[in-house]
């Protein structure tokens, strides 16, 4: 059991060349890609809904959410089911890499300029050895206004 005071357990995943991290408490499960039912008249990054053990769960493609060019799904592609309050959403990522205990001390505020992803979506960055992990701000990523805009 990780010391919650000093360490943060995170799920690490790959998106293009960057590694991102989400606190493990926000992650419900990690799924392989399955049939996604398209939902019409929703933003492009909303890929549709899946049947997650009897629960209809919406899926968004993080690449498209962040404006990174789309990539066809492959063997590594995963859907990370995250929960935010009452909301459960699946995030399509290139690959799920790791589960790590991040020392809280290693987390720094987001740098001014971050490649590809807007600083808004980032809670901070953490350096673990040679790896740079970007901590995702799920509240921002799943903000509902962005759906309403389309």
Binding site for another protein (CB under 8 A): 35, 37-42, 46, 48-51, 54-58, 85-89, 142, 144, 147
Give strand pairing partners of 132. 127
Smallest gap, in angstroms, from Cβ of residue 83 to another protein?
A: 10
Instruction: Closer to another protein by CB, 82 or 133: give it.
Output: 82
Smallest gap, in angstroms, from Cβ of residue 58 to another protein?
A: 5
Instruction: Closer to another protein by CB, 85 or 129: give it.
Output: 85
**Residue among 133, 22, 21 nearest 84 (CA):** 22
| CB hemisphere CA count around 126 (13 angstroms) | 24
Instruction: Closer to another protein by CB, 42 or 106: give it.
Output: 42
How many whole angstroms separate alpha carbon 72 and alpha carbon 64?
12
Instruction: Closer to another protein by CB, 84 or 104: give it.
Output: 84
Give strand pairing partners of 127. 132
Smallest gap, in angstroms, from Cβ of residue 69 to another protein?
A: 20
How many whole angstroms separate alpha carbon 85 and alpha carbon 138?
11
Whole-angstrom CA distances from 51 to 27, 48, 56, 93, 139 are 17, 11, 5, 18, 23
Instruction: Closer to another protein by CB, 36 or 133: give it.
Output: 36
Smallest gap, in angstroms, from Cβ of residue 93 to another protein?
A: 17
Smallest gap, in angstroms, from Cβ of residue 1 to another protein?
A: 31
Residue 139 structure tokens = 């509240």
Name the strand (E) or helix (H) holding 13.
strand 7-15
């Amino acid at each position: 059991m990780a010391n919650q005071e000093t360490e943060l357990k995170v799920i690490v995943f790959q998106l293009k060349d960057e590694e991102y991290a989400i606190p493990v408490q926000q992650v419900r499960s990690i799924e392989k890609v399955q049939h996604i039912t398209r939902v019409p008249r929703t933003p492009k990054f909303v890929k549709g809904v899946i049947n997650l053990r009897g629960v209809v769960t919406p899926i968004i493609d993080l690449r498209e959410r962040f404006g990174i060019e789309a990539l066809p799904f492959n063997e590594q592609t995963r859907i990370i089911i995250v929960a935010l309050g009452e909301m459960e959403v699946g995030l399509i990522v290139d690959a799920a890499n790791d589960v790590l205990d991040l020392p809280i001390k290693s987390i720094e505020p987001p740098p001014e300029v971050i490649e590809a992803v807007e600083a808004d979506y980032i809670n901070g960055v953490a350096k673990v050895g040679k790896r740079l992990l970007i901590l995702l701000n799920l509240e921002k990523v799943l903000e509902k206004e962005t759906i309403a805009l389309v």
